[in-house]
Amino acid sequence: MTRYLRLIRIFTGATVSAQLEYRANFIGAVLSSLGQVGVALLAIGVLFGQGSDTVGGWTFREALLVTGFFILTEGFIAVFVQPNMSRIAEAIRTGNMDFTLLKPLDAQFSVSTRYLNVLRAPDLLIGLGLIVYAASALTTTPSGLLIAAVLYVSALTIVYCIWLALSTTAFWFVKTQNVAELFNGIFGAGRFPVTAFPLPVRFALTFIVPIALITTVPAQAMTGRLSPALAIASPLVAAGLFAVTRWFWLRAVASYTSASS
């Protein structure tokens, strides 16, 4: 375990110093982070600007909480998940996956933690800031915050598992970045509370693609309106998905025959 933690530190150091070489990129990244949040706020601002106090039963501040979780999750994907997952397909195509598999390390660990995109770290700060701002006007309890934190960890696990499962298909299909696009498209629904959608869509977003568990459920936990069923469902779904993707990954690696064969 300590060995893995030490490795994470080394990986992080290497990838951060490699990225800081390109300073102009940072300005571009900050610009697009600010633009991103501006657009998210505009979307929700316009929605609430039409005279109604609630959207799907959520007040403005409560809905802002969901947007905060949405931006935070997008930041998590951009910083931690995507840089690694997008390289899996490339490594398989070029045969570099061989080296990863030969190392005396769990291969899923090394493909998942090797890279970081520090340039998108402002997204994490903006998301957190928005959550704090939204929560400051709401009544929250310490236990609510604790449950929200736990549920958000399961949410991030779900996000990671979906991405890993999609990227693992690269062992059979050469190109996968388009599948990631598809995920981003559907994940866009997570910027609003799930109750803002018509009933059939709400059902799909909860049970078919668990977007609701990622952004709405932690926000519900913070405002203390979470149903116990959903509170239990989120960690269960996360654990189940993790087991399934782990199994899927091991199967994919077992069937891997290098690039040239």
Partner 1 sequence: MIRKTRVLFATRFAEMAEYRAEVIIWMLSGTISLVMMLVWMAQAAAAPGGQIRGYDGSEFATYFLSVWLVGQLLVVWVGWELDFMIRQGTLSPKLLRPLDPMWVEYAAHVAERFVRIGPMLVLLVIFSFLSGASFTRDLWAYPVALGLCILGFTCRFLYEYALGLLAFWTESSTAFSEVAWLLYAALGGLFAPLTFYPQWVQNIAVWTPFPYMLGLPAQLLAGKATLAQAGFGALILFGWVVVFWFARLLVWRLGLKKYGAVGA
Classify each residue of 128-157 as buried b or exposed e, where b means 16 or more C-beta atoms within 10 Å of its C-beta. eebbeebbeebeeeeebeebbeebbebbbb
DSSP codes joined into one string, 137-168? TS---HHHHHHHHHHHHHHHHHHHHHHHHHHH
Cβ proximity to partner 1, 49 vs 240, nearer residue: 49
Distance CA 230, CA 236 (A): 10
Out of 104, 142, 198, 228, point to the residue binding partner 1 (CB under 8 A). 198
Pick the closer one to partner 1 by CB: 147 or 180.
180
Q: List binders of partner 1 among 42-61 (CB under 8 A).
A: 42-43, 46-47, 49-52, 55-56
Cα 128 to Cα 66: distance, rounded to the nearest angstrom:
11
- Tell me whether residue 61 or residue 246 sits nearer to partner 1 (CB atom): 61
Cα 57 to Cα 86: distance, rounded to the nearest angstrom: 38
For residue 142, the minimal CB distance to partner 1 (Å) is 32
Instruction: Give strand pairing partners of 213.
Output: none
CB of 207 to partner 1, least distance (A): 17
Least gap, CB of 33 to partner 1 (angstroms): 9
Contact between 18 and partner 1 (CB under 8 A)?
no
State which residue, 116 or 189, has the beta carbon closest to partner 1. Answer: 189
Under rule CB under 8 A, residue 32 binds partner 1: yes
CB atoms closer than 10 angstroms to residue 183 = 18
Contact 136, 68 (CB under 8 A): no
Is residue 20 a contact residue for partner 1 (CB under 8 A)?
A: no
Helices 121-136 and 60-76, axial angle in degrees (round to 10)? 160
Contact call for residue 172 and partner 1 (CB under 8 A): no
Q: Is 163 in the site for partner 1 (CB under 8 A)?
A: no
Question: Using an 8 Å Cβ cutoff, are 56 and 195 in contact?
Answer: yes
Contacting range for partner 1; rule: CB under 8 A; set: 96-104, 106-114, 126-134, 176-184: 176-184
**Residue 70 C-beta: closest distance to partner 1, Å:** 12
| Chain contacts with partner 1 (rule: CB under 8 A) | 22, 24-25, 27-29, 31-32, 35-36, 38-39, 42-43, 46-47, 49-52, 55-56, 175, 178-179, 181-182, 184-186, 188-189, 191-192, 196-198, 201
